Structures are given as C-alpha cells and as structure tokens.
Amino acid sequence: MNNAPQPGHTDPAIIRNFCIIAHIDHGKSTLADRMLQLTGVVGEREAKAQYLDRMDIERERGITIKSQAVRMPWTVTEGNEAGAEPGTYVLNMIDTPGHVDFTYEVSRSLQACEAAILLVDAAQGIEAQTLANLYLALGQDLHIIPVLNKIDLPSANIEKYALELANLVGCEPEDVLLTSAKTGLGVERLLDEIVKQIPAPVGVADAPARALIFDSVYDTYRGVVTYVRVVDGELSHRDKIKMMSTGALHEMLEVGVISPEPMKAGKIGVGETGYLITGVKDVRQSRVGDTVTVSSRPATESLGGYQHPNPMVYAGLYPIDGDDYPVLRDALEKLQLNDAALTFEPETSGALGFGFRCGFLGLLHMEISRERLEREFNLDLISTAPNVVYEVVMEDGTQHTVTNPSEYPEGKIHEVREPVVNATILAPSDYIGTIMELCQNKRGNLLGMDYLSEDRVEMRYTLPMGEIAFDFFDQLKSKTKGYASLNYERSGDQAADLVKVDILLQGEPVDAFSAIVHREAAYGYGVAMASKLKDLIPRQQFEVPIQAAIGARVIARENIRAIRKDVLAKCYGGDISRKRKLLEKQKEGKKRMKMVGRVEVPQEAFVAALSTGGGGTEKATAKK
C-alpha cells in the first residue's frame, strides 16, 4: 500500500513539506484524515475521525493542541487537472492547532515547511485566527495555497468567501481551491496542486549534517523522542550526534519517519522530517529550536532557532498533597519538553504550601496544561486565580516586577504599569455597538475599523491583558451569539490605576485570595470574594470576620457566626445568676480562643474560591 521512496534515499526534488493552518473548527484535522486515506497510509480498518489528534483531551474537546507530522506517498497520474508532473512524490504534512493560545506551536511547524495550506470555512469566511496564522506564514516567506473547505454545506457562500480569500492572499478567485474534507470532494485535486505549486526543499546533501528540532515528546519507555527537519547532510542510525546549543553528545539508537505511526529507517536526508531516539532521559538535553549535527563532522553554524514566547498569564499550581511536590516538578519538566511555551519557577504560599508559579500563553493553555498534568501524571492540583505581570515603580524610583499579588510592594507607589495587547475582533457588522460597549467596559481603546465585506467588520482595539485574562472571551461570544472571533498579541504596557485587594480572615491576610485589580473593580471583587468565603468556610468555635481591604482601608466585610454550644442544657429552673455566670464563662473562653485560635480553611474552600472566572473560559471555542 505504502509505495513511497524509502527515507534517506529520497531525492529532495520529489519531497513536498507543507502544513495546514486555519481558524478553529474550519476542518484542518478532517482534511488531514482525507489525505491519510487517499494516500493509503491509513487503511479503512484503522481510519477514525481526527486520526492525528492523539491525546484523549484533544479528542474530548475536539481541538488540536499538538502539531503532528506525517509522511505520505502520492502518485500523480498523467493528465491531472493541476498539470503537475506525473510520478510518485513524498508529502510531509504537519497538522497544526487553530487556537490563539497555541500560536507558538504553529510558528514552530511553519519553520519545518516550504508552504502552508490556508483553509477557510465556506460558511463562515475569514476569522481572526485565519489572519494571524497567515501573517505568521508570510513572515516565514512560505508559499500559500488558499483553500475553501466545507463547500457541501447548505449555508456555504462560495463566491463571496472565495473573493474575500483571493483579496487576502493576492490571487484570482478562480485560483482558490474548493474542497469538502468531509466527503473528500476536491482533495485529490488539492494533493496534485501541492505537488505542482510547492517548491522542493533546498539543502546540500554532502555538507555537514544540520537538522532543526521542531518538537519533542517524552516517552516513559524510550526517553526523549525528538522530531527534526533535516536541512543539510543526513542523520544515520548509530551516528554520534551533537546538540549545538548545549554541546551534549548522544548516540542515535533509532531514527525514522512518522507515516503516521513511527517507522524505523537507516537514515534521513535533506528535506525530510523524522524522529530521533537517543535514550536520553533528561528532558533538558533536547531543546526545541536547537540544531542537531553529527559529532564526527560537525556543522559550524547553527540554524535559526525560535523566538521564545513571553508568557501572557501567570497562575500558581500547588499539589493538594504536599508530598507530591517533587512529582509535580518532574511532571512540569516533562510537559515543558512537549510544550516549550510553558514556563515555571518554585514559589511558596502561607496558605497552600510549596508549589510553582507557571506562565502560560492564555487561559485555554493554562486549563489544558493543568488538565494534562492531572491526567498524564496522576496529580491533584489547586491553581490560583490567573493574573498578569505588573511593573510597580515606587516614589523613591525603585522598580518591582510583580507576577503574584503576594509580591506587591508596601509603601508609597508612584506608578503601576500593566501589559496591554492589540486585539483584532472579526464579527458581523450588526454587533458593532455590542462589541464597542464590551471593550469600553474592559478599558479598551479603539484603534480602527475596516469592513471586509458589506456585512463583516474587523475591529482593532488595545486592551489591558488583565481584563482579557478572566471572562472577556466568554462575554464576547455570548454577546455576539458565537459569531465574533478574537486574536491578540502583546504590544507593550501602560500606566493604570491598579490596587491590591487583600482578603483577611480574623485580621490575617490570606495570600492565596489576594488580587491586583483596577480601583473601580476593587469593591466588586472584595464583596464577591467575602460572600463566597462566608458560604465556603465552616463555622468555627468563635466568630470570624472576613474582610476585603486595600492597604489599611476595609472595603467589604462578612461575618461567620460562631457555633454556640448550649452550656445551659444542665440548668433547669433555679437561679438566673447561675445561667449568667455560665454564659459569661463561655464568652471569656471564646475571647481567649479568638486570640490564640487559627481559622481552619478547608482545601475545598480554596479550590472553589480560586475557580473564579478562570475555569472554562474559552471552552466555547474549543471545538474543531
């Protein structure tokens, strides 16, 4: 069935490297399924929907989280519609994620390709993430093949969106390819066009070997599995390889290609994408963006790596069982190998114990990372409310970087600077007023507005990252009935009137519940958190005041009433002074207990109180 030329002996002239980029739910994984079936690498018996979405979490949510590379053979016959040269070719395809939080994953995939298929839903048209991914591809100087998918849908508007796509890419509407990934219509023509349009990879076969690491995964049995794109030379079985950034030397125990399951090969050469296994267990030895070369004849110049992404959102992750701290550290290291955009550093909390401060590219990224840690490493975790990084300038000129409310400095503050993003919102023009109102409530500034067509508009805003980090996306989707799409990128910072709201239990601040919010929203946060904790914390032997405060000024308060033991149960009839004496004694005891007693906050209260707005945000979009 698989009649492709063997790895390592493949002429680069017959190799085509490409990826599929699109907005969420425009059919990337379904198109990949049809290609796998048409090229014969997946038979009818093994075929299943979204074949390349391997993780349970991807299949449950219907989204792609990890890019997947696969090698496919394709034979072009005489007289094909595309006018491609007949012959058997090797197609290396990478299926990429569509969500804005996984843009870094897309940017890495693009560097292993010569071209990108830009896929657009014929019923929905161009969306915000379509534009973002297109600009990423153009920035890498890739050839773009525009494709309109889902043309079989009754609501498909082919002429309108083909014109929109042609204007965007800079081609004629008739050059836009029409496909239905679900039925397979037009996919054969697309494969022929890939062969015709995409340039063959360029590299020097007899030069010292150079291969770019574009992904790595950790396998419990085989150690680190490294995915590479060979640019020059070749990598052979049992070669001693060298990582150019660290200088580490390893022996290759296995080399091969993914088609779509791992397939051993003697070697891989110029233009090929494949995997290497060296038996290394230390995940830091195989960095994404590093260059692999052969130690016997090393290359002198490394390939351009990746610009490392800056985390947008920070949250604390703490194991519910303190003994799991070392397990969590190992799990984060292994996950970081697979997800290079994740950052973490140790931190401690008076309330939650030892944990890690983790940086994520967005809320969905945070939610997926936490879920993967819990599933893949069998951990029970508490995550604190997400927040962004602030720069605090004191009146004496000293500067503090605050990634956590507990780091917020005391004393006279001159200025607080918060990160801002440039957001692009695409929506039907009927919702312009609704979107403007939402963005103004979130302290946004309108930069500009363009009509893509008569009834679709692109709005550009600067918005504080802290406002996006909670429920902005949910509100945008609900107010526009799901039609709006959002993309954003970091664009610097601005001064803002921000304050730290402390939550005090019996006069003692609990660091896990503190938050940095805009002064206008401080009262609302304080009232909401105080009333929430009143319901969550069980009654104690003494009365417990819950207060929200900015500095020394209390802005909200709730009381948890004491459990009152009936000390008068044994008094029946008799002198009232006896009862008074017992009640006074109880009062004195409670006063003394209040001075030495500590408020017991159950773990469930932390979990429930800290899941304010963070959980589930962006689930609405997590469909593919």
Q: How far apart are CA 531 and CA 23, in angstroms?
A: 40
Residue 352 in tokens? 């939650």
CA proximity to 71, closest of 57, 92, 48, 40? 92
Residue list, annotated binding site: 25-30, 149-152
Residue 514 in tokens? 């503190």
The burial class, CB within 10 Å (0-12 / 13-18 / 19+), for 595 is: exposed
Residue 504 in tokens? 């005090």
Which own/partner pairs from 339-348 qualify as long-range (CB within 8 Å, at least 24 positions apart)?
339/105, 339/369, 340/104, 340/108, 340/287, 340/288, 340/289, 340/306, 340/308, 341/104, 341/105, 341/309, 341/311, 341/365, 342/369, 343/311, 344/317, 347/316, 347/404
CA proximity to 192, closest of 96, 271, 95, 78? 78
Q: Is 497 helix (H, G, I), strand (E, B) or coil?
A: coil
Q: How far apart are CA 71 and CA 228, in angstroms?
A: 13
Residue list, annotated binding site for GTP: 25-30, 149-152
Beta pairing partners, 121: 149
3-state class percentages of the chain: helix first, strand second, coil last, to nearest 5:
30, 30, 40
In single-letter form, the type of residue at position 461 comes to Y
Q: How far apart are CA 22 and CA 28, in angstroms?
A: 7
In single-letter form, the type of residue at position 553 comes to R
Q: How far apart are CA 119 and CA 460, in angstroms?
A: 23
Residue 248 in tokens? 């580490």
Provide φ and ψ at 163, rounded to 5°.
-65, -45
Residue 65 in tokens? 């989280």
Contact 341, 289 (CB under 8 A): no
Provide φ and ψ at 285, rounded to 5°.
-80, -10
Contact 125, 451 (CB under 8 A): no
What's the angle, vertex CA 403, arms to CA 397 and CA 407, rounded to 5? 60
Contact 153, 161 (CB under 8 A): no
Rg (the chain; Cα; Å): 29
CA proximity to 530, closest of 591, 612, 598? 612
Q: Where are the alpha helices (DSSP H) in 339-469?
A: 363-376, 432-441, 465-467
Q: Which letter, b or e, does each residue of 251-262 get, where b requires 16 or more Cβ atoms within 10 Å of its Cβ?
A: ebebbbbbbbee
Beta pairing partners, 494: 418
Residue 393 in tokens? 């300038």
CA proximity to 116, closest of 169, 74, 66, 167? 169
